[in-house]
Amino acid sequence: MSQMTIHLKIWRQEGPDTKGAFENHTLDTVNEHMSFLEMLDVLNEELILAGNEPFEFDYDCREGICGSCNLVINGRAHGPKRLTAACQLHMRNFKDGDSIVIEPARAAAFPVIKDLVVDRSAFDRIIAAGGYITVRTGSAPEANSIPVELEDSTFSFDYAACIGCGACVAACPNSSASLFTAAKLSHLNRLPQGEPEREKRVVAMVEQMEKEGFGDCSNYGECEAVCPKGISIASIAEMRRNYIKATIAG
């Protein structure tokens, strides 16, 4: 099992209103089987033992399902591998002696809380604006009582895979949140349960997305390339169609 030396350049920022800067660290004991976040754990342990402040970074599940991690690694959201969240990335994707730059997601709508942790509550507010359905509460409804077209259930399920990590915003040259918003919209709009609020939902969520200060979408498609779940920008076209139907061509 080979040990690697990795040179790290990591963003350090005290808080939202302070200026940040990069800090350089070299780790000599990186193991190729470590995950990227374990590598950061090792660094933090060294820092703590030496009486220094560790780097803050977000994570929870460490298996690509919660959407907490969102590091920008060498200029790419979640690092070099496609369909892989930063927490699923392994050090074998790097070489001995590599230099790695780690930055937080950068967007006005995602202010830095500390170091690599950014505030993604703008996403929560987009969801709150319309990402819900009206259902009768109480006992679970009979699963087969509402028929759903196979195509719709398939697409809806694909879009529901969005974990809300914000990589799409981080990677978009315009810092647009269109892929996130569109995935949430198509997930609900495609199902009969989401039908009653379809028009209201698309208008409210598009409005909220703009209000939060996310940029316009120029169809760069970078969001799809970095999305750990491979959400297609077809959802953005769907969002536009639903929005136009609800407002302009309604």
Between residues 125 and 240, which has the closer beta carbon with respect to ligand HEM? 240
CB of 134 to ligand HEM, least distance (A): 34
With 0-12 CB in 10 A as exposed, 13-18 as middle and 19+ as buried, what is 108?
Answer: exposed
The distance of closest approach from Cβ of residue 231 to other proteins in the complex, given in angstroms and rounded to an integer, is 11
Which one of ligand HEM, ligand FES, other proteins, none is in contact with 59 (Cβ closer than 5 to 8 A by kind)?
Answer: ligand FES
Applying CB under 8 A, what is the total number of residues that bind other proteins? 56
State which residue has the least CB distance to ligand HEM.
218
- Is residue 7 a contact residue for other proteins (CB under 8 A)? no
Of 75, 141, 192, 196, the one binding other proteins (CB under 8 A) is: 75
Interhelix angle 178-189/198-211, rounded to 10 degrees, is: 170
Question: Minimal CA–CA distance to 102: which of 27, 190, 12?
Answer: 12
Partner whose binding site includes residue 87, from other proteins, ligand HEM, ligand FES, none (CB under 5 to 8 Å by kind): ligand FES
**72 binding partner (options other proteins, ligand FES, ligand HEM, none; Cβ < 5 to 8 Å by kind):** other proteins
Beta carbons within 8 Å of 4's beta carbon, 6+ residues apart: 30, 31, 32, 91, 94, 95, 96, 97, 98
**Is residue 115 a contact point for other proteins (CB under 8 A)?**
no
Residue 4 to residue 99: CA distance in whole angstroms: 11
Judge contact between 37 and 91, C-beta under 8 A. no
d(CA 65, CA 60): 9
Neighbours of 67 (CB within 10 A): 22
CA distances in angstroms from 232 to 133, 135, 215, 229, listed in the order given: 23, 28, 19, 9
- Quick check: 247 binds other proteins (CB under 8 A)? yes
Cα separation, 191 vs 237, whole angstroms: 17
Number of residues that bind ligand FES (CB under 6 A): 13
Q: Please state the closest distance from residue 218 (CB atom) to ligand HEM, in A.
A: 3
Q: What is the x/- site pattern for ligand FES, positions 46-85, by CB under 6 A?
A: -------------xxxx-xxxxxx---------------x
Q: Nearest distance from residue 183's CB to ligand HEM, in Å? A: 20
Cα(57)–Cα(13) distance, integer angstroms: 11
Asked if 87 touches ligand FES (CB under 6 A), the answer is yes
Q: Which of residues 213-242 bind other proteins (CB under 8 A)?
A: 213-222, 224-226, 232-241
- Indicate the residue among 117 and 217 with the shorter CB distance to ligand FES: 117
Residue found under tokens 């604006």? 129
Closest CA to 59 of 22, 96, 99, 86: 86
Chain residues in the site for ligand FES (CB under 6 A): 59-62, 64-69, 85, 87, 163
